[in-house]
Structure 1
Amino acid sequence: MPAQDPAANGSRADFSATLRAAIDARDVTLTWLRERLAANGNPVSGATLSYWRSGARRPEGPQSLAAVEHLESLLRLETGALLSLIGPTQRVGPLGTPQYPLEQARLEKAVAETFIALGSPVMDPGRDVSTHAVTEVGADGFVISRTTRTILQCTSGTITHVPYLDLTPDQPVPAPTFTMVSGGRITRRHSHPTGEVHGMMIELERPLGPAQTTMIEWRLEFPPEYPGMRETGHGVARNARDVLLWTRFHPDALPTWIEAVEETPDGTEVADHYLDGATAIHEVRRNWGPGMLLHRWGYDDRD
Structure 2
Amino acid sequence: MNIHTGSPNPTTALRTGPFADALRAAITARGLSLDSLQRHLADRGVRVGTATLSCWQNGRRRPERPSSLRAVSALEDILGLPSGSLLVLLGPPRPRGHGIGLPAGSREYRHILPTWAALTGLLASLGTAADTKLHIAAQHEQVWIDATGSSPRRETFQVLRAHQDSVDRYVAIVDADPGADIERVDLEALENCRVGRIRRDAEAGLLVAELLFDLTLRPNQTHLIRYAVVDRSAVECSDFHRGFRFPAGQYALQVRFDQQRLPVACFAYQGSTEQELPMTGHHAVHINVAPVPPGIVGIRWDWR
TM-score, normalised with respect to structure 2: 0.61
Aligned match of 1:296 in 288, 294, 300? Answer: 300
Q: Distance in 2 between matches of 1:202 and 1:278?
A: 32
Aligned to 1:239: 247
Q: Does 1:116 align with 2:124?
A: yes
Matches within 5 A, 1:180-191: 180-191=189-200
Pick aligned residue for 1:256 from 253, 264, 277: 264
What SS is found at the alignment partner of 1:272?
A: strand
Amino acid at match of 1:239: P
Aligned-pair CA distance for 1:120 = 2.5
Distance in 1 (CA, whole Å) between partners of 2:259 and 2:247 is 35
CA contact (8 A) 2:112 2:243 kept: no
How far apart are the structure 2 equivalents of 1:180 and 1:241? 23
Tell me if structure 2 keeps the 8 A contact 1:141–1:255: no
Work out the percentage of aligned pairs sharing the same amino acid.
15
Counterparts of 1:193 and 1:280 in 2: how far apart (Å)?
31
Cα RMSD after superposing both structures: 2.3
Pair 243,101 (structure 1): closer, same or farther in 2 beyond 3 Å: farther
TM-score of the pair, normalised by structure 1: 0.61
Which protein shows a greater Rg? 1
Unaligned runs of 5+ in 2: 1-101
1:287 to 286, 291, 304: 291
Q: Find the partner of 1:205 among 200, 203, 214.
A: 214
Aligned residues: 202
SS in 1 for 2:165: coil
In the TM superposition, residue 278 of structure 1 has moved relative to its aligned partner by 4.8
Kindly provide the CA deviation profile for residues 221-258 of structure 1, in whole angstroms up to 9, marking residues without a partner as x. Answer: 111x3422222232221111100101111122221011
Deviation of 1:174 after TM superposition, in Å, equals: 2.1
Structure 2 residue 141 is the aligned partner of structure 1 residue 137: no
1:98 aligned residue: 106
- Superposed, which structure 2 residues align to 1:1-303 within 5 Å? 95-100=103-108, 103=111, 106-168=114-176, 171=179, 173-175=181-183, 176-223=185-232, 225-263=233-271, 268-275=272-279, 277-300=281-304
